[in-house]
Structure 1
Amino acid sequence: MSEEGYTPKASLKYASIVGLQGAGIGAFISAIQNALGTHPHGAMGFVTRTGGTIGFFAAMGATFALTESVVANQRRKDDAVNGAVGACAAGFLAGIRARSIPMALGSCAVLGAAMGTFDYCGQLTGDASLSAEERRKRFFKQPPKPLVDATAE
């Protein structure tokens, strides 16, 4: 996409939304961890015992979204590089949580490559300028036009 057609993204709004979505996913995973474990904490173990999962997923989502939108706003392009850089930052955060610089660098490389490939393939398969109706019409076969006009007689 060219610089003229780029619309800036609201970085903090996007990061907040994705961070809250990440917190929801983290809460779900924390509840599963709590349900599968045996401990004396009861139902509150989902917050007290495995609650760090909630904050971790929220932080990863917010880091990804903030980095992706800041890079897109600086480059004034909406392409696969933005997602790759955002995923690299989120992967680096995961490695730092594990207290390992090699794991942080490896997670950055793996998540960045995966997201960059995903975004790149998504941009190859679809033309963003086409509407959903135009894509549907191009996807399905169209019946051949009749050789003789039946209404002319």
Structure 2
Amino acid sequence: MASGDEQYHPKDAVKAAINGTMITGAAGGLVSAIQNTLTKRNVGAWGVFTRSGGTIAVFAAVGGTYEFTRLASANLREKDDSLNQAIGGFLAGSILGLRVGTTPAVLGMGALTAVILGAYDYTGGGLTGYKKNPEMDEFERKELLRKNRRRPIEETISELGEGRGIYGPGYDERRRERIKEKYGIDVPAKS
């Protein structure tokens, strides 16, 4: 069972695998078409499938394997966490290593992909950094941050001194006294 009061709900791994295969297969078709276009010899329009069709197959296999393994391991473990992405990433990366044809490449590509995908999911699954709480109002969040980092005015004045927009209580009277002492001029008080 999942931790806490939340109960895990199984997901359809086969449907996700088919969707993943179709999406990454289409991306593989695009890459294959680009490879076909950049060849020096004219191999024709069917070269997308005959000459560089292996690219389509690898892309489709990687996407389908990742999605199926990720959801199947989540269903078997009854947990939805980063380990599922790492397991799916390992098998998907292993397929990439199969093109090289050596065991170290299969294991290395699988391990690399597992670490990258597992870490990506563990850190929040975003490249933009920490996700904000969607339920908290932005104004309230910024006010909370200001209060959290606010320092007492006495501490600021003791470190920086007065002036430059930083004035403590009673500043006007002290300023009038300093000017009177130093220059002998009476500065009128503000009303």
Q: TM-score, length-normalised on structure 1?
A: 0.81
1:73 aligned residue: 75
Question: Residue 101 of structure 1 aligns to which amino acid in structure 2?
Answer: T
Q: Deviations over 1:2-58 (max 9, x none)?
A: 374321110100000011011011001001101111223122211111111111100
Q: Deviations over 1:73-129 (max 9, x none)?
A: 0111111000000000011111122211100010111000000000000169448xx
Question: Residue 142 of structure 2 aligns to which amino acid in structure 1?
Answer: K
1:8 aligned residue: 10
1:37 aligned residue: 39
Over the aligned positions, Cα root-mean-square deviation in angstroms equals: 2.6
Q: For structure 2, which runs of at least 5 residues remain unmatched after alignment? A: 144-191
Query: Within 1, Cα distance between the matches of 2:139 and 2:94?
Result: 42
CA 1:81–1:140 in structure 2 vs 1: closer, same or farther (change >3 Å)?
same
Between Structure 1 and Structure 2, the one with more helix by share is 1
* Structure whose CA Rg is larger: 2
Q: TM-score, length-normalised on structure 2?
A: 0.65
How many residues end up aligned between the 2 structures? 140
Higher RCO (C-alpha 8 Å, min separation 6): 1
Q: Deviations over 1:117-147 (max 9, x none)?
A: 00000169448xx6x4x256478636xxxxx
1:147 aligned residue: none
Aligned partner of residue 113 in structure 1, secondary structure? helix
Query: Within 2, Cα distance between the matches of 1:138 and 1:8?
Result: 38
Which residue among 40, 46, 49 is the counterpart of 2:48? 46
Using the aligned pairs only, state the percent identity: 38
Query: Within 1, Cα distance between the matches of 2:65 and 2:140?
Result: 37
Runs of 4+ in 1 over 6 A off after TM superposition: none
Query: Within 1, Cα distance between the matches of 2:137 and 2:86?
Result: 30
CA 1:135–1:118 in structure 2 vs 1: closer, same or farther (change >3 Å)?
farther
* 1:96 is the counterpart of 2:98: yes
